[in-house]
Amino acid sequence: MSVRATTPAPTRSAPRRRPTPNGGRLGLLAVSVWTEIRSSFRTADFAVGAIAVPVLLYAMFGLPNASSVLDGGTRVGLAMLVSMSAYGVVSLAIFTFGDNLAKERGRGWTRTLGATPFPTWVHLVGKVANGVLLAVLIVAVMFALAATAGGVSLPPGSWLALGATMVAGLLIFSTLGFAIAFLARPRTAAVIANLIFLPLAFASGFFVPLGELPQVLRDVAQFLPTFHFGQLAYRVVMPDGDVEAWTGAATGATWVHLTWVLGSAVVLAGLALLAARREAVTRRG
């Protein structure tokens, strides 16, 4: 009786998953954010302009009159804190997402990224995350200065609400920065950003209360999203009476201010998206 040897059937091993470079999309996003942060702090003029200027303006114009009190009990130091913080985050939004991105377009960096597998959205989200971090840094320094040297005292919830409002302002006005970046020529983006930002900040009452400005500027302010953002920010920590006394403008309904701010963000985001798509089509053609 013969016994026939049998060969065991080979077992199939499960296919090995290839390790994802840089930890996948989250890893790429982390690298993008870290790169943007390092780039921001390596540029001395940007760091000074974005962070130091609002703090210096508050120190020069807010602290000397910080102990004065409005009729409703609000300290002038608190009103100036809101004004200069709004100035800082709007400036950061316009120049971080406008001038810097336009420079990248001029150097051909965005075109190079478009020809690689690197997702464009990761690059843009990295810029937004970097802007949020810088906005938090600006707000933290401003709050510390106001609390220590300006005598401003608020409940913890009010500090958090005001800080969250400022970060939301950065995200909202980043749409204006993106619109400038994609609509303007790279060489003229910085000039256009200044021509847009400075009149916006001045006419919105960030530097001088609207009651001290000519009537024509007070009329124009009603159509500026930065003015309505300021109205929302003041209301977080100030009663309506003091907001009206400080800004020199009649307070309106909250939904009106929200409509102006969010509506302008939607329109500007649409313009930026159309301009970016047009550039992509032109590049492929």
Mean pLDDT by 10 residues, the chain (285 residues): 52 52 68 75 68 88 89 91 93 81 74 69 80 90 93 94 95 90 84 88 86 85 93 94 87 91 94 80 56
Distance CA 159, CA 277 (A): 40
Provide the b/e sequence for 124-153 (b: ≥16 CB within 10 Å). Answer: bbbbbbbbbebbeebbebbbebbeeebebe
What does the chain look like in DSSP terms, one character per residue? ------PPPPPPPPPPPPPPGGGHHHHHHHHHHHHHHHHHHH-HHHHIIIIIHHHHHIIIIISTTTT-B-TTS-BHHHHHHHHHHHHHHHHHHHIIIIIHHHHHHHHTHHHHHHTSSS-HHHHHHHHHHHHHHHHHHHHHHHHHHHHHTS-----HHHHHHHHHHHHHHHHHHHHHHHHHHHHS-GGGHHHHHHHHHHHHHHHTTSSS-GGGS-HHHHHHHTT-HHHHHHHHHHHHHS-HHHHHHHHSS----HHHHHHHHHHHHHHHHHHHHHHHHHHHHHHH-
What's residue 1's pLDDT? 47
Which two tokens mark 92?
């950061």
The pair of three-digit structure tokens given for residue 21, joined into one six-digit string: 């470079």
Name the maximum alpha-carbon separation found in the chain: 116
Q: Which residue has the tokens 């020809």?
A: 115
CA neighbor of 64 nearest in space, from 73, 51, 77, 78: 77
